[in-house]
C-alpha cells in the first residue's frame, strides 16, 4: 500500500480487521503496510473516534481497542477490572424463504462472532418469512413456500458454530404458520438444532451475566421515523419491571438510544427491501449489532458499547437468486 486512503468508509472497513488482541504483524502482512503507514492508520482511526492502539502483550504486538466512546454511564471510582464484560451478537428478521433474504451476510456476522470468541447470539424474531393468507402477492416474493420448506431450510442452513448458542424468539411472520395450522417453528428447531434455543413467541426476558435483557418483536405497521415506535415500546414497560437493555425486532431499522434509563436497540434485518416495504415507503436496514456490556455485580450497566454493523446495497445478493443458489451453510467446528 503506497498511500493510505483517508476516507471514513475505508477506515470503517479496515477497523473491523483490527480485532482486539489480534496480531499487528499479521494485519500488516494482509494489507501490505509498513510501520510508518500503520501509525498513520492508527492516527486516522483516532481522528474518526475509533480508539485503537498497538500494544505489546506477552511479547507480541497486538491491537487493543479502548472503549472510551459511547460510554453511557460510569460511576466515578469504578474501574473496568471490577466489572463483568460480556460481548454478544444480536440479529433479527432473517425472513428465510423470502427472495430478498441475505443468508451470506448472516454468515459473515456469525463468522465475525466466532473470531471475537462470542458464545451467545440473540435473534429477535421473524426467523422465516411465513405465510400470510391475506397477502396473495406473498408467494411470488418467496422461493420457499409453506411450513415444511421454510423450517426445513432453517434446520439445514442456519449458521452453525460450535460453542455458539443462538437464543431466539419468534415473530409475526413465524406466527403465521401457527395461525394457519398450529405449526410451531420452535418444535422442529428444538428437535433438529440443539444449538438454537427457543425463548418465546413475540417476547422474552433473559438474564445474561446478571444483566436483564428484554427481546421484543412487536406486531403492526412500522413508522417513517426510526425512533418513534421504539420509544413507544419503552413507554409501555412498567417502571418496576424495567430491563437494562431492550432489543426490538420487526421494524427492520437500525437505531440505538437511551430512554427511561433503558438502552434500546432497534435491530436491523437480514432481508433486502420487500415489495411491501417499497409500497409503504418504508426504509430497510440490513445488519446487526455487537454489544459490549460492562456490568457490576448487581447487573447494572456501567459501560455500554453498541457496535452497529450495517451492510450497503452493493453487499446484497438479490439478482438471479444468487443468495439462495450459491450460499452454503456456515459450519465452523473446532
Ligand atoms: Fe420482519
Ligand atoms: Fe415482524
Going along the chain from its start, the domains and CATH numbers come out as 8-65 (1.10.10), 81-332 (3.60.21.10)
Q: How far is the CA of 17 from the centre of ligand 2 (A)?
A: 33
**Residue 142, φ and ψ in degrees, nearest 5:** -125, 145
Residue 283 has a pLDDT of 84
Give 3-state DSSP helix, strand, coil % of the chain, rounded to 5. Answer: 30, 30, 40
What the block records as the C-alpha cell of 167 is 437464543
Contact present, 282 and 227 (Cβ < 8 Å): no
Residue 314 has a pLDDT of 87
* Ligand nearest to C-alpha 267: 1
How many whole angstroms from its chain centre is CA 38?
A: 29
Q: How far is the CA of 52 from the centre of ligand 1 (A)?
A: 35
Residue 189 has a pLDDT of 96
What the block records as the C-alpha cell of 331 is 459450519
Q: How far is the CA of 250 from the centre of ligand 1 (A)?
A: 4
Contact present, 16 and 288 (Cβ < 8 Å): no
Q: How far is the CA of 244 from the centre of ligand 1 (A)?
A: 24
Q: How far is the CA of 174 from the centre of ligand 2 (A)?
A: 8
Bridge pairing between strands 165-170 and 196-201: parallel
Residue 76 has a pLDDT of 63
Contact present, 168 and 123 (Cβ < 8 Å): yes
What the block records as the C-alpha cell of 280 is 409503504
* Ligand nearest to C-alpha 172: 2
Choose among 182, 177, 236, 244: nearest CA to 210: 244
Q: How far is the CA of 142 from the centre of ligand 1 (A)?
A: 14
Please, what sign has the CA dihedral across residues 17, 19, 76, 262? positive
Rounding to the nearest 10 degrees, give the CA dihedral for residues 227, 234, 93, 334: 120
Q: For the chain (length 334 residues), average pLDDT per consecutive 10?
A: 61 82 92 89 77 87 70 63 94 97 97 96 98 93 96 98 98 98 96 98 98 95 76 90 96 91 95 84 92 95 94 85 94 92
| In 158-213, alpha helices (H) | 172-181, 185-192
CA distance 18 to 10: 13
Residue 69 has a pLDDT of 41
* Ligand nearest to C-alpha 218: 2
CA distance 207 to 51: 30
- Answering whether pTM is above 0.75, one says yes
Q: How far is the CA of 181 from the centre of ligand 2 (A)?
A: 19
CA distance 94 to 97: 9
Helix (H, G, I), strand (E, B) or coil at 253: coil
Residue 126 has a pLDDT of 98
Residue 42 has a pLDDT of 87
CA distance 283 to 300: 34
Bridge pairing between strands 203-208 and 211-216: antiparallel
Q: How far is the CA of 106 from the centre of ligand 1 (A)?
A: 15
Amino acid at each position: 500500500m503506497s498511500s493510505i486512503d483517508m476516507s471514513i468508509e475505508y477506515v470503517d472497513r479496515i477497523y473491523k480487521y483490527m480485532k482486539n488482541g489480534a496480531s499487528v504483524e499479521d494485519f500488516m502482512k494482509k494489507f501490505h503496510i509498513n510501520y510508518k503507514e500503520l501509525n498513520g492508520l492508527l492516527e486516522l482511526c483516532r481522528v474518526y473516534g475509533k480508539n485503537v492502539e498497538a500494544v505489546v502483550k506477552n511479547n507480541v504486538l497486538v491491537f487493543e481497542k479502548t472503549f472510551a466512546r459511547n460510554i453511557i454511564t460510569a460511576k466515578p471510582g469504578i474501574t473496568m477490572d471490577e466489572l463483568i464484560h460480556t460481548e454478544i451478537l444480536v440479529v433479527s428478521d432473517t425472513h428465510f424463504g423470502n427472495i430478498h433474504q441475505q443468508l451470506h451476510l448472516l454468515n459473515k456476522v456469525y463468522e465475525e462472532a466466532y473470531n471475537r470468541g462470542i458464545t451467545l447470539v440473540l435473534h429477535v424474531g421473524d426467523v422465516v418469512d411465513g405465510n400470510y393468507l391475506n397477502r396473495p402477492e406473498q408467494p411470488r416474493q418467496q422461493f420457499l413456500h409453506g411450513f415444511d420448506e421454510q423450517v426445513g431450510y432453517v434446520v439445514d442452513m442456519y449458521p452453525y458454530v460450535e460453542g455458539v448458542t443462538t437464543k431466539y424468539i419468534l415473530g409475526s411472520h413465524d406466527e403465521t404458520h401457527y395461525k394457519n395450522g398450529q405449526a410451531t417453528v420452535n418444535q422442529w428447531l428444538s428437535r433438529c438444532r440443539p444449538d438454537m434455543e427457543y425463548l418465546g413467541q413475540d417476547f422474552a426476558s433473559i438474564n445474561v451475566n446478571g444483566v436483564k435483557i428484554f427481546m421484543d418483536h412487536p406486531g403492526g405497521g412500522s413508522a417513517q421515523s426510526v425512533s418513534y415506535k421504539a420509544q413507544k415500546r419503552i413507554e409501555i414497560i412498567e417502571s418496576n419491571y424495567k430491563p437494562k437493555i431492550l432489543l426490538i425486532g420487526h421494524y427492520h431499522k437500525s437505531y440505538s438510544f437511551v430512554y427511561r434509563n433503558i438502552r434500546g436497540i432497534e435491530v436491523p434485518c437480514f432481508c433486502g427491501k420487500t415489495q411491501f416495504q417499497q409500497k409503504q415507503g418504508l426504509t430497510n436496514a440490513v445488519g446487526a449489532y455487537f454489544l459490549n456490556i460492562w456490568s457490576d455485580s448487581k447487573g447494572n450497566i456501567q459501560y455500554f458499547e453498541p457496535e452497529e454493523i450495517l451492510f450497503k446495497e452493493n453487499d446484497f445478493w438479490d439478482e438471479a437468486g444468487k443468495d439462495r443458489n450459491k450460499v452454503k451453510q456456515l459450519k465452523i467446528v473446532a
